[in-house]
Chain A
Amino acid sequence: DQQVKQNSPSLSVQEGRISILNCDYTNSMFDYFLWYKKYPAEGPTFLISISSIKDKNEDGRFTVFLNKSAKHLSLHIVPSQPGDSAVYFCAASVAGTGANNLFFGTGTRLTVIP
């Protein structure tokens, strides 16, 4: 049972525009959320995270929004650059239990068109 879902397998955006990647989760116990970026032949790279006590976290061009009532989070990339083209994975965990395993979505392939 997929507890973290990324319903869009792919997304194409023009360079300079905003990229919005979406993620939904079903487990209300999740209280820590992360985004990872993955290039081919490399492991996922941590991008940004957010705790459930916040609804927004910003790091440069990357902003993650969390809507707990809707069990939805999104990653905004502004402005998008060709180097952002990669597969983006949303992940979630229950931070307070000592269980560290991350639950990942199936990923969204972002293509930024020059």
Chain B
Amino acid sequence: KAGVTQTPRYLIKTRGQQVTLSCSPISGHRSVSWYQQTPGQGLQFLFEYFSETQRNKGNFPGRFSGRQFSNSRSEMNVSTLELGDSALYLCASSFFLQRSTDTQYFGPGTRLTVL
């Protein structure tokens, strides 16, 4: 069974630009969550999508948005990039995350560098 895939793996952008990251969950998984990892803050939850609906959202500004398609693939978008948005963006999928005891499986991440 293929794991969670994320594209692209690396991305370099400049301040003010926007970026779109993509995540393909494990086949059969319907929940996709996004996390931001930075050296000082560790992994922080961005949002979670289930059946094309945002079900949960972390404490990030509105510049961070996402969506999920009918095949459970998800994208996240960051507009008006700031230097502080440089981070590893991780996507995690799970089968049916009604209770958070369902294991979340992570992709390798997209490394975003904002210059």
- A binding-site residues for B, Cβ under 8 Å: 2, 32, 36, 41-46, 49, 51, 89, 91, 93-96, 98-107
Could you list 23 examples of A-B contacts with CB < 8 Å?
A2-B41, A2-B42, A41-B108, A43-B90, A43-B92, A43-B106, A43-B107, A44-B90, A45-B106, A46-B105, A51-B101, A89-B42, A98-B98, A99-B100, A100-B33, A100-B56, A100-B94, A100-B100, A100-B104, A101-B58, A102-B45, A103-B45, A105-B42
Interface membership of B1, Cβ < 8 A: no
- B108 contacts which of A43, A96, A100, A103 (Cβ < 8 Å)? A43
Mark contacts of B13-39 with chain A using CB atoms, 8 A cut-off: 1 yes-contact digit, 0 otherwise.
000000000000000000101010000
10 closest A-B pairs by CB: A43-B106, A106-B42, A101-B45, A104-B43, A93-B100, A100-B100, A100-B97, A44-B106, A104-B42, A95-B100
A89 to B45, CA, bound (A): 14
A32 to B99, CA, bound (A): 10
A71 to B98, CA, bound (A): 25
What's the least CB distance linking A64 to chain B, in Å?
A: 14
- A101 contacts which of B41, B48, B101, B102 (Cβ < 8 Å)? B48
